[in-house]
A and B are shown apart, each in its own frame.
Chain A
Amino acid sequence: MTAWYEKTAHEIRDALRQGETTAVEITQNFLDRIDAVDKQVGAYLQIWNESALEQAVQIDARLANGEDVGPLAGVPMSLKDLFCTLRGNTTCASRMLANFESPYNATAVQRLEDAGAIFLGKVNLDEFAMGSSTENSAFQKTRNPWNLNCVPGGSSGGSAASVAADCCTFSLSSDTGGSIRQPASLCGCVGLKPTYGRVSRKGQVAFASSLDQIGPMCKDVEDAALVLNVICGKDPLDATTADLPVPNFSKALTGDVKGLRIGLPKEYFTESLNPEMRALIEQAIDVLKGQGAEFMEVSLPHTDYAVAVYYIICTAEASANLARFDGVRYGFRHPDAKNIQELYVKSKSEGFGPEVQRRIMLGTYVLSSGYYDAYYLKAQKVRSLIKQDFDRAFEQCDVILTPTSPTQAFQFGAKTDPLEMYLSDIYTISTNLAALPGISLPCGLTKDKLPAGLQLIGKPFDEAAILRTAHCYEQNRGFDMGKAPIA
């Protein structure tokens, strides 16, 4: 029997259309795989066996009827448990929302369902997407399928692990400061963060509203384009989605990068970049050079300030976004609250984990009376400078290439100091601050047999360019990443 779980979305789509198999068989194949390996990986918080098979039955019936079933028909996938779904619970990996049932589907979730995607269930994350290792989940540990002693990255660790362990074809994730790209890098997946405004955030439980963006975590670049086609575009229910024409991103994968100008920001290739990572990135540069891309050095002079800017803005926005979890309309309510004050204080203090509380505290501080100008306003101004850096760099080049993460996957408990953890986002957060598209894709294994990732950053709304570049590299890199050693 074919191991459908090893296949990509486009392979499954083609097999179904050619009548080689059925959606039910494929879905059952994935459910069996999850059953076999997810105990070790711990990616899934909820597995929707029944409804997944029901969806598959319907797809098969529609296929048999000759109906147009949509571009992702019969493709089993997972959802980061940060997206509101009518099915199951929407927990954000928080005690606060352990029993929360959303009365609506996120726009991206609905678009996937309408495109025929089959929801296998919801996967783990750092509580409310706050973290870089998925160690902040209130519910369970998710392990890196390449090495079960290592973290899968975060916050979309469950998404990355579920893709890397072949427990889904792709996963719907979100990225606020690297939460798609960093775990993709650590787990050897392709992770795409579209331009802010490309995909509706409606139904994504907000962490930092001006930075959050939904994107896919996939097995190859072609799938990333395929999923983006489905989820992107104007949503009247999200005032921050761009009303721009949407290209067919699959058509952007021409394999041609001749004359494409790729910038290498000198601030990203410093002494602090681990030499092994640097070597793998340089090999990737050579592959693209061989395909006719032109490389040049560019400068993003305010890079060193990005982490500070990012943690001011994201914590400030988070402090307001998370204020609604007060135990009144939904979520955890402390049983001992005697008055309204106690209801808030006890519910929040017990419902939120330590990292979430820390970020609420930081965000509240930087907005509080007397500190707003020094921190929040200052950060917004430096955000402008960071954006201008990119605008200038993109006058010289079409795409920027950087490492995704300064390190390979690290061991559980390796980073206990919050600031140290925050600094590990250094290569990904500028993309969010400047509202640009970014993609991470695997560029080899380290000597520890852990994946390394490279990042491509594009001009606003030019996902096509980074997808094309990524695809060209993927097709020509000359080696197979192989599979995570898990069975």
Chain B
Amino acid sequence: MEFEAVIGMEVHVELNSKSKVFCPCSTNFHAPANTNVCPVCLGMPGSLPVMNKDMVDKSVAVGLALNCTISRWSKMDRKNYFYPDLAKNYQISQYDLPLCYSGYMDVESDGHVRRVGITRAHMEEDTARNTHTIGNGESGVDFNRSGVPLLEIVTEPDIRSAQEAFDYLTQLKQILQYLNVSDCNMEEGSLRAEANISVRPKGSTPFGTKTEVKNVASFSGTMKAIDFEIKRQIQVIRDGGTIVQETRGWDADRGITFSQRMKESAHDYRYFPEPDLVPIVVDEAWELRIHEQQPELPNPRKHRFEADYGIPAYDAMVLTLTKSMADFFEATVAAGADAKKAANWIMGDLQALCSEAKRELGEEVLSPAHLAEMIRMIDAGEISGKIAKEVLAEMFASGKAPKTIVEEKGLVQISDSDALRESICQVLADNTPQVEQYKAGKERVIGFLVGQVMKATQGKANPQMVNELLKEELSKLS
């Protein structure tokens, strides 16, 4: 029997608001432990939450980007459970009236498009962090992260493979980055994914029993964990066993999922409306305002790049991977550069420089106008492509204009035929064996001679002119 996997994802995204969701503490939880805390995020007696408007704005932006309906009327609820990282022993979250619901995302995966339904995206607060390094059989708790705004995005069970899950996560992250609502840093936990997985015989409609895989530190880890879990479930069924509904952890070292047994009462969350907060009404005007501020999203932008700039699909895909790169590309073209040439420089040398320096491409790194100017200088024969690489590196490092760099470093291309002829004559005089070979019909030697001229001019010679003049001088000798 052939099986297919049925996967739903739950992603927790930390939003990049400056202050926490219910108190004015900074959201920088890398500060020294327990310094960005106050009575509210410590759950002290008598403290009351007051909601951060920025959290609602950003959540609506995500909801719209995921084609969700935005609730005109929603409310916050208390989710009750005990854990030392939970300051009040309840989490303020949303239960039956999430801010965003019934959306979808078209996920491109392996050449096909999978429409993944978005069940809901709801607002909640992040928890504190437990450190397990205290020793003595004890743990320490740091509440800096307690109350950081968190958006939980839940999909329908529409995903059918680990690869699709990976592509969903990657493309979701891309959208979140475009919206600039989260730094999406997985290592730091600002993006946390959980998967609900079941398998069923291909072609059947009822769902199998699902397991939930948690605590995976990277997208690729998530993909591996899902892959393992699908195979494990199929094997259990093939062996005549049954799947137990449970939460499973991921052991990255051993590459396996393992059961995390929980008490029956662990899921009785006793949700009820949060009496300390009043309902949230996002009216049409508010929604429209967010809609109007919305940037063009990666998918439509990619298609527009192909159409407007006539660049290949692959280039458009790469250039729209991040908003900063796509913006940079468009600014470079707007400054007069040829689109394909701009694309090549950005995707090639500039990307390499960025990843080497571990910097995001953006105007603060390099001016798009400077890149456009550099491309124009190549086209005009003022610098060679080879010198351009050097110029670009310097532009990247110092932010100086290409013209300034070329002047300061004396990199102007020698297109003066008299000067070039002088160098050429010298090279020919110094390399008589090669000249003889050329005369004897070995035309390939010309490459060597061009190289010598370039070397003599420290690469500044216009290569095309060198070629022509060299042939001229050689013909004089024969």
CB atoms of A and B under 8 A apart anywhere in the complex?
A: yes
Give A318-373 interface residues, CB cut-off 8 Å to B: 319-320, 323-326, 328-330, 340, 344, 364, 367-369, 372
Interface 1/0 per residue, B46-70 and A, CB below 8 Å: 1111110000000000000000000
1/0 contact trace for A202-233 toward B, CB 8 Å? 11111011100000000000000000000000
Known contacts A209-B276, A239-B276, A324-B89: does B78 contact A103 (CB below 8 Å)?
no
**Distance A104 CA – B40 CA, assembled complex (angstroms):** 11
- The distance from the CB of A381 to the nearest CB of chain B, in whole angstroms, is 13
* Alpha-carbon gap, A237 to B51, bound state (A): 10
Total interface residues in chain A, CB < 8 Å: 43
Question: When the two chains form their complex, are residues B46 and A369 in contact, meaning their CB atoms are under 8 A apart?
Answer: no
Is the beta-carbon distance between A326 and B270 smaller than 8 angstroms? no
Complex Cα–Cα for A237 and B276 (A): 11
Whether A84 and B45, one on each chain, are in contact in the complex, defined by CB atoms closer than 8 angstroms, is yes
Q: Mark B250-279, 1 if CB is under 8 A from A, else 0.
A: 000000000000000000101110011110
Contact A102 B90 (CB under 8 A): no
Asked whether, in the complex, the Cβ of A209 is within 8 Å of the Cβ of B275, the reply is yes
Which of chain A's residues have a CB closer than 8 A to the CB of B39?
102-104
Partner of A100 from the list B42, B45, B78, B275 (CB cut-off 8 Å) is B45
A240 interface contact, C-beta 8 A: yes
Chain B hits for A210, CB < 8 A: 275
- Is B141 among interface residues, defined by CB-CB distance under 8 A? yes
Q: Contact partner of A329 among B43, B82, B90, B278, CB < 8 A?
A: B43
The smallest beta-carbon distance between A430 and chain B, in angstroms, is 18
Q: Report if B80 contacts A (CB, 8 A).
A: yes
Interchain CB contact under 8 A, B84 and A328: yes
Measured between C-beta atoms, what is the minimum distance from A206 to chain B in Å? 7
Give chain B interface residues in 272-300, CB to chain A under 8 Å: 272, 275-278
Which residues from chain B contact A209 at a C-beta distance below 8 Å? Answer: 275-276
CB A224 to nearest CB in B, in angstroms, measures 23
Shortest beta-carbon distance, A173 to chain B, in Å?
15
State the CA gap A202–B88 with chains docked (Å): 16
Q: How far is A364 from B268 in the complex, measured between Cα atoms in Å?
A: 10
Task: Name the contact of B46 in the complex, choosing from A202, A240, A325 (C-beta under 8 A).
Answer: A202
CA distance A376 to B275 in the complex (A): 13
Given the contacts A340-B84, A367-B270, A201 and B50 also touching, CB distance less than 8 Å: no
Alpha-carbon distance A210/B75, docked complex (angstroms): 15
A83 at the B interface (CB under 8 A): yes
CB contact under 8 A between A364 and B270, given known A103-B39, A320-B80 = yes
| A184 contacts the other chain (CB 8 A) | no
Contact A324 B43 (CB under 8 A): yes
Residue A180 interfacial (CB < 8 Å): no
A281 within 8 A of B: no
List of A residues within 8 angstroms of B48 by Cβ: 201-202, 237-240
Q: Are A237 and B80 in contact (CB under 8 A)?
A: no
Q: Is B176 an interface residue (CB 8 A)?
A: no
Are B277 and A239 neighbours in the complex by a CB distance under 8 Å? yes
Contacts known (A209-B275, A323-B80, A344-B82); A239 close to B51, Cβ less than 8 A: yes
What's the nearest-Cβ distance from chain B to residue A42, in Å? 24
- Please report the C-alpha to C-alpha distance between residue A238 and residue B78 in the assembled complex, in whole angstroms: 17
Q: B51 to chain A: which residues have CB within 8 Å?
A: 239
- The reply to whether the CB of B216 lies closer than 8 angstroms to some CB of chain A is no
Residue of A nearest to B23 (CB): A237
Return chain B residues, CB-CB under 8 Å to A372: 270-272
Check A320–B45 contact: CB distance below 8 A: no
Note all chain B residues with C-beta closer than 8 A to A102: 39, 44-46
If the complex has contacts A323-B80, A367-B80, are A206 and B270 also in contact, measured as CB distance less than 8 A? Answer: no
A73 within 8 A of B: no
Given A316-B272, A369-B268, are A324 and B46 neighbors across the interface (CB < 8 Å)?
no
Say whether, besides A209-B276, A320-B272, A330 and B78 are in contact (CB < 8 Å): no
| A237-B50, A323-B89, A329-B87 known; A92-B276 Cβ under 8 A | no
Please indicate the chain B residues that have their CB under 8 angstroms from the CB of A329 in the complex: 42-44, 87, 143
Cβ of A103 and Cβ of B44 under 8 Å apart?
Answer: yes
The 10 closest A-B pairs by CB, nearest first: A323-B89, A367-B270, A210-B275, A209-B275, A203-B46, A205-B45, A84-B46, A324-B43, A369-B268, A324-B88
Q: A97-B45, A205-B46, A344-B82 are in contact. List 5 more A-B contacts (CB 8 A).
A: A103-B39, A238-B50, A239-B51, A240-B277, A324-B43
Q: Show the binding face of B for A, using Cβ within 8 Å.
A: 39, 42-51, 78, 80, 82, 84, 87-90, 141, 143, 268, 270-272, 275-278
List 5 A-B residue pairs with CB atoms under 8 Å apart, sorted by A's residue number: A202-B48, A203-B47, A206-B276, A239-B48, A239-B278
